[in-house]
Copies of this chain bind each other. A is one copy, B any other.
Amino acid sequence: MSANPVLVEALRGGAVESMHRGAVAIVDADGRSVLALGDVSRAVFPRSAVKLLQALPLVASGAADALKLSDEELAIACASHNGEPAHVATARGMLAKAGLDADALECGAHWPGLDTAARELAAQGQTPDALHNNCSGKHAGFACLACALHGRDGLRGFFSGYVEPGHAVMREVTAALQAATSADLAQAPVGIDGCSIPTYAIPLDRLALAFARVATGQGLSADHARAAARLRQAIARAPFMVAGTGRFDTRVMQALGERVCCKVGAEGVYCAALPERGLGVALKMDDGNTARAAEVVMAAVIEARLRLGTDEAALLRSLSDLSLRNWRGTEVGTLRASKGLREALA
């Protein structure tokens, strides 16, 4: 296997200290490749980058309307959130609409992803529960979907085991993923995700195709096309819910609204829909680095592919070419999209 190109470089004192390789696919809704950098046919586990696709049945089933889910609730159904108090409260409220509570969640517990939120929780003498899990909103969405599939009577019993691939809830979720990507998931390598649901390895260009479909509605069923548009709208209206304080997705969508719908995944995956361009983007860093590498690449892609105002361009540039400071606040280096990536995107 030949090496993917270097997409991100970390410099110290003017010398390259570390580098990140990866692949980027940009395609239109007809599946035509607009950019293929690195091996875009290699199957990758998309992890949390496809939460919007996994939430399509929540809307398409009618559950979101029946339970009167708010923009915040729909956004957190697509989120990898920081576990901040507003995230926890929103996920708790969604579960309550389904008549359930945190005990019904099978995602496991972890300390809030935002350090300050974790320390505040500790300072209050508390420990985290499943609602603090970055995926709690997605799982609360699964509970709402279960409501539509089964009704609220005996829902707790029906919902139990929902993270297993054969459960009625997960079959709906997987079918939506398969429909959006046109990938044969029955034949795909399968793993277990951080939150215990299955994750299927899908070629990067197929993931990009799915997000081009999300961007345009083309190639999706009418129900899924409407659901995708509703979810994009909800995320654009409530971008705090999809990530949180200081996070890339929140900052970018607060600035750009519905012009971009992007979502991070673990292990260096990023997906995005660019509706005004009719394009989908999927990228994966070989080394699995998300915060320092995948985000820089996604920022460079958005910079290159959207016509941006001055403030917007400055925000994106601050995410694709940034200074690194040490504990004393001294600038010690830079983190930047590689020349090769910039040239390929030009």
A263-305 contacts to B (CB < 8 Å):
267-268, 285-289, 293
Q: Given the complex of chains A and B, what is the CA–CA distance between A288 and B19 in angstroms?
A: 7
Q: Given the complex of chains A and B, what is the CA–CA distance between A330 and B3 in angstroms?
A: 31
Q: How far is the CB of A297 from chain B (nearest CB, A)?
A: 13
Taking beta carbons and an 8 Å cutoff, which residues of A are in contact with B? 3, 10, 12-15, 17-21, 43-45, 106-111, 115, 118-120, 122-123, 125, 133, 189-196, 199, 201, 267-268, 285-289, 293, 326-330, 332-333
Given contact pairs A3-B3, A119-B118, A119-B122, A194 touches B19 in the complex (Cβ within 8 A): no
B13 touches A189 (CB 8 A): yes
A329 contact set on B, CB distance < 8 A: 108
Given contact pairs A14-B189, A19-B287, A199-B12, A108 touches B267 in the complex (Cβ within 8 A): no
A330 touches B44 (CB 8 A): no
Q: Given the complex of chains A and B, what is the CA–CA distance between A327 and B197 in angstroms?
A: 11
Q: How far is the CB of A80 from chain B (nearest CB, A)?
A: 13
B189 touches A108 (CB 8 A): no
CB nearest neighbor in B for A197? B326
Give how many copies assemble into the complex. 2
A332 touches B119 (CB 8 A): no
Q: Given the complex of chains A and B, what is the CA–CA distance between A291 and B13 in angstroms?
A: 24
Q: How far is the CB of A234 from chain B (nearest CB, A)?
A: 26
Partner of A196, one of B14, B17, B196, B330: B330
With A3-B3, A10-B267, A107-B328 given, name 11 new contacts (CB 8 A).
Answer: A10-B288, A12-B192, A13-B190, A13-B192, A13-B201, A17-B288, A18-B268, A20-B287, A21-B287, A106-B328, A107-B327
Q: How far is the CB of A157 from chain B (nearest CB, A)?
A: 20
Q: Given the complex of chains A and B, what is the CA–CA distance between A43 and B13 in angstroms?
A: 13
Q: Given the complex of chains A and B, what is the CA–CA distance between A329 and B285 in angstroms?
A: 26
Q: How far is the CB of A267 from chain B (nearest CB, A)?
A: 5
Partner of A332, one of B20, B110, B191, B333: B191
Q: How far is the CB of A342 from chain B (nearest CB, A)?
A: 18
The residue among A17, A111, A192, A199 with the most chain B CB atoms within 10 A of its own CB is A17
25 examples of A-B residue contacts, CB within 8 angstroms: A3-B21, A10-B267, A12-B192, A13-B45, A13-B190, A13-B192, A17-B288, A18-B285, A18-B286, A18-B288, A106-B328, A107-B327, A108-B327, A111-B119, A119-B122, A122-B122, A133-B327, A191-B333, A192-B330, A192-B332, A194-B332, A196-B326, A196-B330, A287-B289, A287-B293
